[in-house]
């Protein structure tokens, strides 16, 4: 068994698609109409057949509450791996991304947390 798709709730699918592709550098795998919304998934350009991330509309009240409470408490909804966290941190800062935690060493890892502009905090990690 393996993880093939995971999702995050987003406040606006179009805004999320732009941020996750143009700012973070993911590529679109699927963008298909699905009722009032779309089935949008993105993948790493280095693993186009890898795990897909669904940009899920947060229209359900439970989803909205979940998203708001995690954000308010400073809890990231997911984690992305990077090869060089200092380089990625600077690249994202240059794109205007707001970080709530600068790169911080914690044993054999370094982590940082940023705001995805769509209602979520995202953690990035470099493993040594």
Per-residue HEC secondary structure of the chain comes to CCCCEEEEEECCHHHHHHHHHHHCCCEEEEEEEECCEEEEEEECCCCCCCCEEEEEECCCHHHHHHHHHHHHCCCCCEEEECCCHHHHHHHHHHCCCCEEEEEEEECCEEEEEEECCCCCEEEEEEEC
Q: Which two structure tokens, joined as six digits, stand for 19? A: 């941020």
Of all residues in the chain, what percent carry a pLDDT higher than 70?
100
Distance from C-alpha of 48 to C-alpha of 57, rounded to nearest angstrom: 23
Average pLDDT, the chain: 97
* pLDDT attached to residue 94: 98
74: pLDDT strictly greater than 90: yes
pLDDT tens column, 6-63:
999 999 999 999 999 999 999 999 999 999 999 999 999 999 999 999 999 999 999 9
Q: Which CATH number fits domain 5-127: 3.10.180.10, 3.50.50.60, 3.40.50.2300, 3.40.120.10?
A: 3.10.180.10
pTM score, whole prediction: 0.94
């Amino acid at each position: 068994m393996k993880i093939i798709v995971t999702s995050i709730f987003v406040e606006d699918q179009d805004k999320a698609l732009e941020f996750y592709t143009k700012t973070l550098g993911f590529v679109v795998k699927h963008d298909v109409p699905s009722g009032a919304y779309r089935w949008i998934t993105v993948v790493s350009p280095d693993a186009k057949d890898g795990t897909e991330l669904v940009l899920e509309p947060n229209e359900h009240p439970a989803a909205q509450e979940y998203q708001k409470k995690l954000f308010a408490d400073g809890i990231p909804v997911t984690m992305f791996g990077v090869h060089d966290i200092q380089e990625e941190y600077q690249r994202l800062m240059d794109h205007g991304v707001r970080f709530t935690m600068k790169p911080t060493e914690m044993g054999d890892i370094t982590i940082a947390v940023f705001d995805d502009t769509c209602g979520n905090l995202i953690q990035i990690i470099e493993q040594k």
